[in-house]
Structure 1
Amino acid sequence: MKKNLLVAFVSILATLLLLESGWRAYYFLRNRNAEPEGAFALYAAGESSVAGFSDMSFVSVLERLYSGGFAGRKLYVDNLARRGFVAYYHRTAVRRAISFRKRANPAALIIYTGHNEPPHNPAITGVQKLWLRFGEPLAAKSYFLSDMLYLLWERGILQVSAPEGHEWYELQLRHIIETARANGVQPFIATVASNMSGADPSLKLDDEGKFLSLARPGWELERKGRWLEARDYYKSMLEHYPAYAAHSHFRLGKCLEHMREYDQAREHYWLSADADPRLCLGKVDSIQTGIIRKLAAEYKIPLVDVVSAFEKNSLHGIMGSTLLGDGQHPNTDGVALLADVFSAALASGYNTPAAPPLGSAQGLKRLMKTDSDYDMKAHRGHLASLLRYSYLHKPWAEAAYEHAREHAAALKRMGAWDPLNDYYYFLLDHAPEMDRILGCRSGFPAGVLEDMSPPMEYDELSRLYSKIVSGEAPCSWPVSRCPSCMNI
């Protein structure tokens, strides 16, 4: 019996070693000559803010800025970003892309991620702590086990992360940094900008009616311009109803902005981000920002302080809709600023002249030689994101709703309005019908959000939409809130 167990153990071990060797050989053959000989390689890891929209990202802008070369070498760019994914994916993507690369080529890795992480919750279980402390680092040393665990995670079969908590986020950033350095790639880690004043926080409500009854008196005071009274009301609400802290801090920020108490307003916006349950369009909070700064100092790697740059270039030093199109994605001015900030950081890191700064969206458009087609795609991309945000946050997401209307109006001026855009407004303003057809409040189908393509439910929703517009079916929202009924 013991002999059979020993044989089985040795067989399993031999199989694992064989698989590990095969996995490493695969990455060696794939990556060894992926970069052009003598090039400077620039990699980027992150979410949709790095992936960009309509073939436009700050990474593609950097590629165009240094099309003539960087640090005396031809520039090779590999944008590893993927929309909607957490840092665990980005860590996997980085390892798969740069393992066993030729270290003779100088290389840099931009790390800009954090919006898609779950909210901070320090109360993780003992088993999760053991996994984070021992199991996960051990598995990370094996290419085969890492890929298998990732595959199981991606398929939803296995939970390999803490369900909530920034410990997991920090661990993934550490893996990314260490993987980069082990393969001769210089990491440039960046703080992450969010729309603090222009996008309402999400709320996890057990009783929506109770929340509305509590919040509406404050909203009414704001509507009347009674900012001091509204401020005191939200302070009281914050004290007695801490479950609504994200909303109360956000409204306090709004009141303090109107009272010209900008430093205090900024503080409350950050506190709102810290309390946000992140049901949609998560803002990077102060804990994550602190982790990023800590890791830059600990590993002695360049810190690209995007947050400071965005605050410096925002009205009253508060990140808002002047540089961000929705809760987290940069608008064209924001893309230009990101490109300028990273360009300066890379040039400083390699002691090479920086490209002339773009300065604004106009400089970006001149560089990229974009036309109205880009503007149209940009407006549509922001409209889709804002309407998804508004749908999941009704009825208190008025700020995002108004920004969506602005993008829609721009599309109409450009003659680029089409039935699909009307369709977005239908999805936004007829929530009960949306719930009935899709069966949940999980947001728009991916096809609508990513590719602006009709989703599977298009025919059924289109028929219902036509009935509502024609009056054959009732509209479930007041006319004052329904763009379709208002013929916008």
Structure 2
Amino acid sequence: MHNPAICPDSQGPKPPRLGVRHDAAAFLLLLVCCLAAEFGYRLYWKGKCAFFSPQDKGEFFALYTVGESTAGGVPYSDTNFSPPYIVQRQFDGIINGKNMRLFLQAKGGESIYPQSVAFEQALRCRDRRNPGAVLIYASHNDAGKNTGMPAFEKFKNAVRGRSMLAGDMIYFLESKHLLPSARTMDTYEYHMRRVVELSLKSGLVPIPATGVSNLSGIDPAIGGDAGLTHAEIKEILNKGSDLEAAGRNLEALSYYLGEVKTRQPPFLPYLKYRAARCLQALGRYGEAEKYYEEAAEESPGDNFGRANVRQNAFILSLGARYGIPVVDAVKVFRAHSPHGIVGDSLFSDGHHPNIEGYILLSGSYAEKISEAFREPVKRHFADRNAVFRDFTLGPERLAEAYVNSGKWYFAVSVWHPYPGQRLLLARKCFQNSLAVKPGNFGALLNLAMAEAALKSDMLSNEKEIEWLAKNFYFYSEPKPSNYSAERMRKIIVKLREHHIDEELLGQIADSYRKQVSSK
């Protein structure tokens, strides 16, 4: 006979253990809390859109801008001379009988990822009954050679696609550097596709543009692992530069191409760039363009980005994939450049257009909008004089823009083994600013710094670079209000140590006193 006391298992299955029931209950409670938090967060956004989003109310044509500093109009940002504003003027502010309303997400220095987040949040309050378009210019800040999509990045993207709250939390933690975030060509393409798909889902017409940069007007970087000291690099390049200066471009070309055969890869893009300059001077424009493009594409890491071939091919492919208009800015700029070589005639620095360049880029966007919405472009800006009249780009604003461009050149000269060309371009910008507005403090002080850097190793000396950063010499404009009299005195002393002309130092001191006393 069966004895239950001896064989307790024979009484049937055991009830679930208490711990298992607790785990299941805890999981269920967590799930309920997460769903409640998600519901509450979405409810918060509904309330925010209903009561605190007046810009999204009413009937209008919405024009969004997504991207980097070019989309924001650098170096003319303070004048509202940027693609969205120019496009708005070209249609007299009306498309399909509706007033145009601008939504400006573009931000200097940002990659496409934070831009896609800002764009997605901006669309949460959008009234989809209103037609609209999205100007997308995002490539230079994401340029690079890394590829692949890490597993953790795929997981975050999957979560972001399912939960508004979790997606915003992930981005917040990444922005505070509490979560890792990868930036590769694959992540760039993912977020570009996301911007396009968000646009289409919201009833907008996305218009991405290829990234175009100044090929001939600015030299590439030289990799730190070129196997040469700065002095050796300078000796090699000065020899070729002397030949160019003497008008012996054929000899200089032969010299540079000979060096290409013997030097290590990190140095080759720079040698190709110099060879391209010689070919351009010799009138061999097709060959020159080829070498310029190779130099830009092969350039090692620099202080500024250039859109690469893969990025631009991907941007063009979006047109066929999604059936959307695409602006091929590279093609447009090439068609309007002397001999098809894109350079200073359309750029204010290495990758920000000048007035003529922005007219071209914005005009191309306007044409795509015209085709998509069957609305004729009403105004065309023929030249910079028309722009000056329409955007009140007077001497004050233009002088500031020249200073901004000069500071860009100065900043990207830091740690460059052969910074002379970039510093000369910076000096020219500051001189142009002074020609437009004589005696302006920002141009005078920056001109003196450019001269000091040309005469010394200031931009390859860590202590000097730290000093420059503390005294507002990178990107931000130095203003008299930022400097006490004692601090200004120390700056003058430092500039004097670098043998800056006393007349220029006197002009800086006079401008400082006048502007401080006028406050």
Q: Which has the larger radius of gyration?
A: 2
Letter in 2 for 1:175: R
In the other structure, the counterpart of 1:421 is: 443
Aligned to 1:77: 102
Answer yes or no: is 1:355 the counterpart of 2:378. yes
Does the alignment pair 1:268 with 2:291?
yes
Task: Please tell me whether residue 49 in structure 1 is matched to residue 70 in structure 2.
Answer: yes
Tell me, yes or no, if the aligned pair for 1:99 and 1:183 is still in contact at 8 Å: no
> Are 1:339 and 2:357 an aligned pair?
no
8 Å contact kept, 2:89–2:379: no
| Structure 1 CA distance for aligned equivalents of residues 389 and 320 of structure 2 | 37
Q: Give aligned-pair identity as a percent.
A: 24
CA drift of 1:290 comes to 1.0
- The answer as to 2:224 corresponding to 1:208 is no
Tell me the alpha carbon deviations over residues 348-398 of structure 1, each in whole angstroms, 9 at most, x when there is no partner: 111111122212212222222332222222222222212222345363341
Q: How many residues of Structure 1 are paired with residues of Structure 2 in the alignment?
A: 475
Q: Which stretch of the first structure deviates more once superposed, 312-321 or 152-161?
A: 152-161
Q: Are 2:37 and 1:19 equivalent residues in the alignment? A: yes
State whether residues 139 and 311 of structure 2, in contact with CA within 8 Å, keep that contact through their aligned partners in structure 1: yes
C-alpha deviation, 1:452, in angstroms: 4.4
Residue 160 of structure 1 aligns with an amino acid whose one-letter code is S
Asked if residue 229 in structure 1 is aligned to residue 254 in structure 2, the reply is no
Q: Is the 8 A contact 1:59 1:339 kept in 2?
A: yes
Deviates more, 1:53-62 or 1:170-179: 53-62
Alignment check: 8 A CA contact 2:492 2:505 kept: no
After superposition, residues 157-196 of structure 1 pair within 5 angstroms as 157-162=178-183, 165-196=184-215
- Could you say which residue in structure 1 is the equivalent of 2:129? 104
Structure 1 spans left out of the alignment, 5+ residues: none
Matched position secondary structure for 2:179: coil
* Aligned residue runs from structure 1 range 234-383, under 5 A: 234-240=256-262, 241-383=264-406
Check if 1:467 corresponds to 2:463. no
Please give the alpha-carbon distance, in whole angstroms, between the structure 1 residues aligned to 2:480 and 2:177. Answer: 26
Displacement of 1:485 in angstroms is: 8.5
Q: 1:168 to 1:238 in 2, by over 3 A?
A: farther
Equivalent residue letter for 2:109: G
1: CA distance, partners of 2:468 / 2:331: 33
Unmatched 5+ residue regions in structure 2? 1-18, 509-519
| Alignment CA distance shift 1:397-1:436 (3 Å) | closer
Matches within 5 A, 1:381-392: 381-392=404-415
CA distance in 1, matches of 2:214, 2:393: 25
TM-score for the superposition, normalised by structure 1? 0.87
Shifted more, 171-180 versus 232-241: the winner is 232-241
The structural deviation recorded for 1:326 is 0.3
1:83 is displaced (CA, Å) by 0.8
Which secondary structure state, in structure 2, belongs to the residue aligned with residue 109 of structure 1?
strand
Q: TM-score, normalised by structure 2?
A: 0.82
| Secondary structure of residue in 2 paired with 1:75 | strand
Aligned AA for 1:20?
A: E
Query: 1:425: Cα distance to partner?
Result: 3.3
Work out whether residues 427 and 447 of structure 2, in 8 Å CA contact, stay in contact via their aligned partners in 1. no
Instruction: Indicate the RMSD between aligned Cα atoms, in angstroms.
Output: 3.1
Which amino acid is 2:28 matched to?
V
Match of 2:177 among 138, 153, 156: 156
**Alignment deviations for residues 285-335 of structure 1 (CA, whole Å, 9 cap, x no partner):** 222111111122212211111111111111111111111100111111222
Q: Which residue of 1 aligns with 2:83?
A: 58
> Structure 1 residue 100: deviation in Å?
4.9
Q: 1:74 Cα shift? A: 0.9
User: Which whole-Å CA distance do the structure 2 matches of 1:483 and 1:8 have between them?
Assistant: 77
Secondary structure of 1:108 counterpart: strand
Aligned AA (2:187)? W
Instruction: State the distance in 1 between where 2:324 and 2:78 align.
Output: 32
Q: Which amino acid aligns with 2:412?
A: Y
CA contact (8 A) 2:458 2:465 kept: no
Q: Retained in 1: the 8 A contact 2:468–2:474? A: no
Say if 1:39 and 1:106, in contact at 8 Å, map to a contact too.
Answer: yes
Conserved? CA contact 1:337–1:359, under 8 Å? no
| Residues 378 and 239 of structure 1: CA distance in aligned 2, closer, same or farther (over 3 Å) | same
Choose 9-18 or 145-154, whichever is displaced more. Answer: 9-18
Kept in 2, the 8 Å contact 1:49–1:330? The answer is yes
Q: Check conservation: 2:217, 2:343, Cα contact below 8 A.
A: yes
Query: Aligned letter for 2:492?
Result: S
Aligned-pair CA distance for 1:145? 2.2
Distance 1:486 1:199 in 2: 32
Deviation at 1:461, TM superposition (A): 6.5
